[in-house]
Amino acid sequence: MIKIQTIKGLALDETGGSRHVIQRTPEGRAMGHVPGWQVLLDPDYASASSLNARNRAKPHAVGSIQTFGTLEPDPIGSFASGATAFVASEERRIAVNTFPEIDPQRWSLFSVIQPGPLFDGAGAASYIASYRGDQDGRLSLSVGWPRASRDSIRVYDRAGNFTARLVYQVDLTELTNPKLIIVTFSIEHGLKMFDGGDLVAANADDTRPLDVVDPSTRTSWFSNGHSSAGMSGILNIDLGAPENTAYRRSIEKFLMSKYAIT
């Protein structure tokens, strides 16, 4: 995310007739001051026709949208509220690919996420998972829920592995509105999960840093989630740390208002 500094009363000399205008977006005003941005995905900045999604935290980075299955539904749709959403279903799965440089010792991820209806299927669904060919036995980023029950949101050891580092018991089967889920980590404070601003799960004893984090690692969003998703992101700070509470609150306040999350 691009940062600018406002200097009150600053006057510029003649600039040769050029006029450069910086437009502040609502999300820029609300969240632009938060440090550590690596990924900010926004379905309003994605294209179904060209199958790409801009990483707004890195203005020149554009992630590809992979699709699997039939051509319906469109990968860009909306929530019941009308807000734009990435849409992945049993008929058409998607994966929005990014390549963040995650700090293995402190990171946070968030997503406005709404799992779809139950369907037959074993194993775990994921709304974010990091992949690399040599990741077997190595700790990577993976968050999702059990497909068959949808009775919890879990932080897993890695994609394709169903060992949970953190479990938040919650019924995901009949949601009419999305949830704002924030997962935070640092070697000082361990793992935490927040739902709509409330701390719902924590494991202070799990202070293991990630093993799979370098820029060649593909981090796929919504790849097996069968869900609708709004703004989602990764930051290289622990938003669960006491000193970062104000930053986390800024993100929560904006996103909960934007997506009518109560």
Higher pLDDT, 212 or 178: 178
CB 110 within 8 A of CB 238: no
Q: Is a pLDDT exceeding 90 seen at residue 91? A: no
Residue ranges of the alpha helices (H) in the chain? Answer: 26-31, 245-258
Q: Is a pLDDT exceeding 90 seen at residue 180? A: yes
Residues 12 and 34: their CA atoms lie apart, in Å, by: 28
This prediction's pTM: 0.89
Residues 98 and 216: their CA atoms lie apart, in Å, by: 10
Tokens representing 69 are 């299955």
Q: Which of 211, 251, 214, 217 is nearest to 233 (CA)?
A: 251
List, for residues 146-158, the tens digit of each pLDDT value.
888 889 999 999 8
Confidence of residue 11 (pLDDT cuts 50, 70, 90): very low
What single-letter amino acid sits at 187? I
pLDDT of residue 6: 46
List, for residues 44-85, the tens digit of each pLDDT value.
999 999 999 999 998 778 889 998 887 677 899 999 999 999
Confidence of residue 165 (pLDDT cuts 50, 70, 90): very high
List, for residues 49-58, the tens digit of each pLDDT value.
999 999 999 8
Q: Please, what is the average pLDDT of the chain?
A: 87
Q: Is a pLDDT exceeding 80 seen at residue 117? A: no
Residues 3 and 174: their CA atoms lie apart, in Å, by: 39
Q: Is a pLDDT exceeding 80 seen at residue 135? A: no
- 26-258: CATH class: mainly beta
pLDDT of residue 216: 77
pLDDT of residue 9: 42
Q: Is a pLDDT exceeding 50 seen at residue 210? A: yes
CB 22 within 8 A of CB 7: no
Confidence of residue 23 (pLDDT cuts 50, 70, 90): low
Confidence of residue 8 (pLDDT cuts 50, 70, 90): very low
Confidence of residue 237 (pLDDT cuts 50, 70, 90): very high
Confidence of residue 7 (pLDDT cuts 50, 70, 90): very low
